[in-house]
Structure 1
């Protein structure tokens, strides 16, 4: 069986196996002898595409009214950009590049323990320009680029994977994530023809009144063929309402050049929430907190007046435990089974055994409470050894 030489094929042959949807596409016994399961050759190459991920995190976040870089504002107890990185970690990407700009040293320091590299955008000249500064850093064997924003902490790895699968299945050169919004204010609009084919993305400031009535919006997440992306970006100008290089303009150019482009519709529009204000920051936190509450409920934990509770995602709580209203359960906490934690209690870096009762209004920091103990209301126990792991 003979094939023309292809970089993607050569890369795949360096791997003992390549999987698609959990099924082996091929295996080989020696560099000169291999077997390919009968699949479309184009489809085979799509499965083997190498993805470089770019996370745009250079913005100042003026509307946050803060000296802290926007992507470092905490959502559910960690910087919002860390949630984006957590979603990307679920994917088979070959590299992740974070584009930094405003206070870039601070952002790089906060992400120093992540397996990422950085590209510095010294002048913020739009999303297209942010991607342009990454060109020299994208790995030589990458044929596809995944682009996300660092201020979308609710995006899920499963959603990104579904978009990748659609991109592969449709053999697209460009794929855009979109979603429906009841109120699309602030988002770029997805413009399609009568057949539903993607034509362009129009930023709200440049949209006509008719286009502003469109409820399908741009999520700011793209999958693009590497060569098409950077060649097209080089052609863009700043003739628009914001005087910037719009990444969205590559969609219109793809249409003009008859390049195959499509869109993936995100079923849950909350995932694409871009955090640009303190209000949106609070909304994103509440959504993440609620997701964790669901996990606790499923584990048999009772949460009284959950809207008043704050529970760190690393908290472990046993079945049949009741957490009273207005409690704050902070980091590094383990609570056993059948416990009763009274209202207005704060617990941090502590371990409670089974069947412990904590009276209302108590404060426990850095302590261990043995099984069966009953603490009266207003108990305050603060250990001087706070800081070590007790789990």
Structure 2
């Protein structure tokens, strides 16, 4: 099999985005658009991938890491000039090179693979990925000869009136014979309206040498959309959201309102999961079978166990076991671990804490930096007082303990197995197992005192 290489063009500043963020780092469904390109190219089994960077190169390097080699284009003088920056890494290699724009996050690995296969089967020196555009304005036109072969590609600004009527457009993605590409680039001129070195001019150079130039037309124009402004970014987000949601529904999940459900690409959802409208599911989240999410719930990078229910709540970087009930209006913060059949009720916040099987925190409580055993009941208004202004400390509540309402557990402190903490207590010392701990002021009733207060207010 021929060697395969990729050059990703990601050096443009993206001024039309009107943003401090480098264009190809703008996220689509939570992932930078250039990362989508890399992720879809990876299944093609490339021998080398090179990303041409310019503005914001350091930021791109932070996101890409070791997934692609990077070459700096110090001055942006057109797509042909960008590709030639990879010359030192590719020039003398045999094989096929695909050139892709870093702002086209919707092209799938299946399309990339089909383009490679078509190019190699045709024995072409160049193959253009084309599409039929409903409105081709602004795109380079693919001009064919009488034999329906690609004759040339004309940029919109340089096209004559007849050429502007052509609706087959150049998507900006190509496959080339690698050696032929870099040899032809030496002859590309910048004699055009923009004064730039256009990569499509390589097509005409190869044509003039009677080399075979082919075209592979994708049936899905929207897949090839490039993102140049915020309007196009929102449109791409909508397309990818629909693609992701349809995949999950075909795999057996129920999305009641897919138009108002947002699921990132790395999410795994098993069969018979029910997702209500307004749910946002991000990161490397896994949702096991028969779980129910939403409405209006945000989950980021969590494991959600089988048949668990999360309503109107937020969960991030946490583990949630089987048959757990969370919400409404709960906040599961990072490093929380919720055991099987546990319950986290309304207006409860859990942070960096473990909660054992069948334990309950039903209302209006804060559990932070705590280890809570199994079958523990934590009453309404309970707080683990974990922070002294400088350091954070651990609260331990052992199995079968009962914590009364409005209790403050001042860490570091341990409440022993099977013990009771009376409502309204502030616990500052360890509670032995099977004990009742009461830590509150003795009640004193002053009869008639309320009337004295009311009379003073009248005076």
| Partner of residue 9, structure 1 | none
| Partner of residue 453, structure 2 | none
CA displacement at 1:275 relative to structure 2? 1.0
CA displacement at 1:274 relative to structure 2? 0.7
How many Å separate the matches in 2 of 1:106 and 1:131? 21
Structure 1 residues 232 and 291: CA distance shift in structure 2, 3 A: same
Is 1:364 aligned to residue 315 of structure 2?
yes
Computing the radius of gyration over CA atoms, which structure comes out larger, 1 or 2? 2
Asked if the contact 2:29/2:263 (under 8 Å) is kept, the reply is: no
How many Å separate the matches in 1 of 2:92 and 2:187? 22
Asked if the contact 1:155/1:271 (under 8 Å) is kept, the reply is: yes
Within-5 A mapping of 1:241-390 = 241-359=193-311, 361-383=312-334, 385=336
CA displacement at 1:330 relative to structure 2? 2.4
Structure 1 residues 303 and 387: CA distance shift in structure 2, 3 A: farther
Is 1:98 aligned to residue 51 of structure 2?
yes
| Partner of residue 3, structure 2 | 50
Structure 1 residues 134 and 371: CA distance shift in structure 2, 3 A: closer
Secondary structure of 1:89's aligned partner: helix
How many Å separate the matches in 2 of 1:50 and 1:383? 44
Q: Identify which range, 270-279 or 227-236, moves more after superposition.
A: 227-236
1:182 to 118, 134, 139: 134
CA displacement at 1:376 relative to structure 2? 4.6
Within-5 A mapping of 1:110-259 = 110-114=63-67, 116-138=68-90, 140-259=92-211
Give TM-score scaled by structure 1 length: 0.81
CA displacement at 1:316 relative to structure 2? 2.9
| Partner of residue 21, structure 1 | none
Q: Deviations over 1:210-257 (max 9, x none)?
A: 111110000111122233222222222211111101111111222222
Q: Deviations over 1:331-373 (max 9, x none)?
A: 24333332333311222343333333333x2233344444334
How many Å separate the matches in 1 of 2:66 and 2:129? 29
2:13 to 60, 64, 68: 60
Q: Deviations over 1:366-390 (max 9, x none)?
A: 44444334445323343565799xx
Asked if the contact 1:339/1:356 (under 8 Å) is kept, the reply is: yes
Gaps of 5+ in 1: 1-47
CA displacement at 1:184 relative to structure 2? 1.0
How many Å separate the matches in 2 of 1:300 and 1:306? 14
Asked if the contact 2:334/2:352 (under 8 Å) is kept, the reply is: no
Secondary structure of 1:147's aligned partner: strand
Secondary structure of 1:90's aligned partner: helix
| Partner of residue 447, structure 2 | none
How many Å separate the matches in 1 of 2:145 and 2:12? 33
How many Å separate the matches in 2 of 1:343 and 1:251? 53
Q: Alpha carbon RMSD of aligned pairs, Å?
A: 2.1
| Partner of residue 107, structure 1 | 60
How many Å separate the matches in 2 of 1:201 and 1:285? 29
Asked if the contact 1:322/1:338 (under 8 Å) is kept, the reply is: yes
Secondary structure of 2:238's aligned partner: helix
| Partner of residue 443, structure 2 | none
How many Å separate the matches in 2 of 1:311 and 1:92? 27
Asked if the contact 1:356/1:370 (under 8 Å) is kept, the reply is: yes
Q: Which has the higher contact order (CA 8 A, sep 6+)?
A: 1
How many Å separate the matches in 2 of 1:384 and 1:170? 54
